[in-house]
Structure 1
């Protein structure tokens, strides 16, 4: 299921029912007359539409909760590449390699920035100092510390009413709450055995404190890595392709991406080779093109490590990162808990870093087939095969680690499995709003609570009449083609950030719809869709629908991080899009407000309580699989000394499988 169909331009639509065998509970009846004293939910046998019940009346049940478009997350298979075993020889070791790489601070050019630095708090970034990034307009400057008074970023006189002449905008900013990365420098070289890269400072006119470079901040809020394995594409704009090419995030968009191979090519990828000898096997040291489907997590993983804002000095390449990391002891700067669910077996007796004998080269050799690392030859650029293919090892191992970060034990999951006490009555009322007049389920559907998933676009929940590129009714004007799972909901003006409507300067647009219109042939799972040069496309300002699981802990919200609380989010939808008229050309038809919620605090709170029922307590308490090594994260700067901005560090202690102290919500952090 990609999305509910829309019957008219006003978005008055009902979600199309989807059934899957793993979910036995489709409709739950509520009310005293239904629950009875046994605590077991009654199942309603529904009369087919248009027919009457035995009493001759059309059946009605205003208290019914329709779960036909939702479900328990463990009913959905975890999507991974079918040909993964052609590359990975030991998934358990590869998962350990991925977790080590994800949390290792030595990855950063500064020897301090890991992937986890932006995804340490329920899979997201909860820092509040030096996290604001400009997108034109006002900028409160580097090292600014957010307060509750700063939110929301689009503020009305009365947030409980629609915007208008009698309810003016009091404050608006195009700024974004992003993630602080590294100070602006040009890459010179690595120093083998050192986590610190050699770089030349480049003056930064934006992120600076009295002329001294401060840490740069990304232009979007960090999405959660938890449950991200279910997404068909990743990043807010979908640029992390579903196909992993072993090199970069762009998948089949980049035919020039190649890895180094020696000996036999993986069986399922031999059709990608262009020059084979007569016997069909080229055993030489050579470059080959590969593609692994269901691997957008791997595509996403290879994006940030060498990004000049997020983790690296400008112009570092993956083989150079590989050379650096192969010279270092994994997690050498960080404590590893003895009971870490994945890394405990590798930890040194003192707890800091891996034990002697376990290095990244060994983990790679034990995780991947030797055709990807065993060559004695070096590349024309002077790298070993293991160094040259480091992006391949990086992407697939982190994909395997992140594929274990699945939060499938929330109160909602237990509720849909028949535990009628798992959710409060208030949360159940919120669920009814979510699936009915709120129309939330139209986009936040399926057990993943997002329509941008493999299962709904081309997997177990998909259907032939709901393709990956759909023809959708709009708020105004004729129908338009759009990428299923990506919507413009009017959080910010379209032109501030094009989202999936953007693209690569040489490889082309991110949007499948636009790629088709421009004559490309993206894989649509066997579907053929034609889009003429004059056909309407609605992808500008559209962003991937995020999953809602653990949303209580993943603030601030939206792609710009401009909302602090779940109440602010609910009121946004209740009012309708903040930039309704400005974005009308691309606006989703379901964001024209929820009249039954607007101005009703009890219904607002009911929706909030339901959203909180999507929290897996293992995430809150960082229990396995969400346990982790120690992490030192910069939270802005404490001052400037001798032309250097000093980091104001926060130390997050290592936790083992049993977990640790609970995570706070963003609202609790800045009340």
Structure 2
């Protein structure tokens, strides 16, 4: 019997009529409400352990291997996943790919129509006073506004266009009370996808569960109302991948299904992969499939799926489980995005000339008086990794969920983070600790110098601003703020060395120059300069 994966399930805050979508990359909050929070202070899951992992070359840590999936040919699955990730036909308007929010170092650097006004609905930061405007220069945000990513114009899904040469769905544009006829903007900054394979759970609040059910991001938790097509472990990337495609803020007209007739699966299986985008013949994954002298690939999504999953099913049969194929394939692709060739990796492997003296001083500060490595720990540079969880257990030093912290970036009431509840009323928090209120996942700092802005709200403009924030012990004295947040007494020289280390010592040349495995098809962008197709790796040899 055909089973249809859920689309974005909106949840209304108790004091608001605005919608909060839970399946995509960030909290879509534009009204006056606050999501319900977990209030318990229980920390009974396990004894809190403090066994911090030292920095190390990333090549010394194996990427977590998923189990329980149905991939038969890993290389073919990577091809399928990369094509789907970069294809703008996925968007309800035919102009929005997963990559549209993750195109520079796995993140979004656009400046046009990227401000979300937060809970008060008032645009009042970055020189912006309304939707659809362009930021002239990224500044620190000092109110509840957020620097997010532009998604779709609000619309209701009617049907997939039967003409496969058309990228857009047939939708009824409704507009939005806050964004009007402009593209809606996410309520959190797009998290990085590079090295995300090492995270135990994904998204800023960790709702993309480490178990993948084949339908949605929620694993085997109480927020999964769809059942299971698969039951995969170590697969938060697959869970994450199934969130944005049908989210009505990020990538879709509202109420489009993933599986079955008149669904995203039916749409993509009927269309030439990447038919509106050039693919370089030197692309490390897709080059052998690139159409000669034109756009797209010389194969079909049906054939790519059959090759990846070892099935002979027809397209009409494939569309009934497309959410499972999608999640597994995108995970296979994103698992190749590992940046393990930074100057720091080379330095820690014995090449003492890989860092300048100033950067080496910054590394010492990072591990010492700066206390950065307390949370940005191990080769992965995050305590939210599978490896850190295995060593230290489910609880952090405050008793909250491992890898999630309230750093006092903004008042807790603005965004409950890890303590928010999902579409079925079940919290993301596992510990139930009050320290999960306003807590967010510790991001890896690899390639941090290539990012547009910092923190879950995009509220800090530069790395110097970030270090100054930690040097003063945070901006808000939230009751739930991590006990690790203390004034540091770093000197201006310390700060300069630390920023130099993070900006240059943590940048993988291949990421900066978009070389394999970080090469990609061409990407037309809404509100930004189109990205040309890239391929090869000679620039960083």
Q: TM-score range by the shorter chain?
A: 0.7 to 0.9
User: 1:385 & 1:607 partners in 2: Cα distance?
Assistant: 54
2:308 is the counterpart of 1:336:
no
More strand by share: 1
Which of 292, 295, 306 is equivalent to 1:352? 295
Counterpart secondary structure, 1:619: helix
Equivalent position SS for 2:325: helix
Separation (CA, whole Å) in 1 of partners of 2:294 and 2:387: 40
* CA root-mean-square deviation: 1.9
Question: How do residues 82-481 of structure 1 correspond to structure 2 at under 5 angstroms?
Answer: 82-84=67-69, 87-137=70-120, 138-139=122-123, 140-148=129-137, 151-153=139-141, 172-192=142-162, 193=164, 194-208=166-180, 213-253=181-221, 254=223, 256-258=225-227, 289-319=229-259, 320-355=263-298, 358-370=299-311, 374=313, 384-458=316-390, 462=391, 466-470=392-396, 472-473=397-398, 481=399
Contact 2:230-2:324 within 8 A present in 1 as well: no
Task: Write the distance in 2 (CA, Å) between the matches of 1:112 and 1:97.
Answer: 19
Confirm or deny: 8 A CA contact 1:15 1:442 kept in the other structure.
no
Deviation at 1:469, TM superposition (A): 2.6
Hey, what's the Cα distance between the residues in 1 that align with 2:371 and 2:192?
Answer: 23
SS in 2 for 1:363: helix
1:569 aligns with 2:461: no
Secondary structure at 1:199 match in 2: strand
Distance 1:542 1:578 in 2: 14
The TM-score normalised by the length of structure 1 is 0.69
| Bigger radius of gyration | 1
Q: Deviations over 1:409-443 (max 9, x none)?
A: 00000000111111111111111111112111110
**1:509 correspondence with 2:427:** yes
Q: 1:500 to 1:659 in 2, by over 3 A?
A: farther
Across the two proteins, how many residue pairs are aligned to each other? 480
Contact preservation (8 Å) 1:15, 1:441: no
Contact 1:338–1:351 (CA under 8 A) maintained in structure 2: no
- Whether 1:628 and 2:525 are equivalent positions in the alignment is no
Superposition deviation, residue 660 in structure 1: 7.5
Structure-2 residue corresponding to 1:579: 476
Check 1:660–1:124 CA distance in 2 against 1; reply closer, same or farther (3 A cut).
Answer: farther
Deviations 1:383-409 (A, max 9, x none): 933111111111000000000000000
Q: How far apart are 1:16 and its partner, in Å?
A: 3.6
Instruction: State the TM-score, normalizing by the size of structure 2.
Output: 0.86
> Cα 1:633–1:660, aligned 2, differ >3 Å: closer, same or farther?
farther
Question: Is the CA contact (8 Å cut-off) linking 2:89 and 2:96 kept in structure 1?
Answer: yes
Q: Paired residue for 2:33? A: none
Deviation of the 1:374 alpha carbon: 2.5
Tell me what 2:454 maps to. 557
Unaligned residue ranges in structure 2 (runs of 5+): 1-48, 124-128
**Are 2:16 and 1:73 equivalent residues in the alignment?**
no
Q: For residue 82 of structure 1, report the CA deviation from its aligned partner.
A: 2.7
Q: CA offsets, 1:43-89, max 9 Å, x none?
A: xxxxxxxxxxxxxxxxxxxxxxxxxx1100001111121333xx011
Aligned twin of 2:25: none
For residue 603 of structure 1, give the secondary structure of its aligned residue in structure 2: helix
